[in-house]
A = this chain, B = another copy of it.
Amino acid sequence: MDLIEKVKNLILLMNENSLAEIEVEEEGTKIRLKRNNLDSIQTSVQMPAVKPSLQQEGSTKYLTSKDESGVAEVVAPMVGTFYTSAPGADPYVSVGDDVGEDTVVCIIEAMKIMNEIKAETKGKIVEVMVENGTAVEYGQPLFCVEASG
């Protein structure tokens, strides 16, 4: 049985038996496996997510910085109505566009004022997360941006 086979079998055993850790050492071969805590128990006591608001069914993550995968989110810095473009114009950005920190990516209208929102990060737009013309909360993710460096 080769090493990979052994590890596979050990993983199988872990899963079947809900083990958190396995460590084996045999004839100079040492294998140690460790799994993150099963979430089932800990999450079962968590508070339920707040009910989605009137306007927005999606979840609100409040990520403002890049996560491990190098993907950042541009979040709404204020409550208001989200527009991808100035009235009658083309969208500021689309999926695939490169943006810099100062690139205007959208408008949020709040109290009749059109606020131009900047990306605040560098990279490529990989997703527009909100429909044009819908309401957004403070902290709501608007765009996914893949870091360019």
Contacts and interface: CB of A to CB of B under 8 A. Distances in A.
B26 A28 contact: yes
Q: How many copies does the complex hold?
A: 2
Query: Interface SS of chain A: helix, strand, loop or mixed?
Result: mixed
A22 B32 CA distance: 6
Contact of A24 (B3, B19, B27, B42): B3
Interface string A6-26: 111111011101111111111
Interface size, A (range): 35 or more
13 contacts: A1-B3, A4-B6, A7-B10, A7-B13, A19-B34, A19-B36, A21-B34, A22-B32, A22-B33, A22-B34, A23-B31, A23-B32, A36-B38
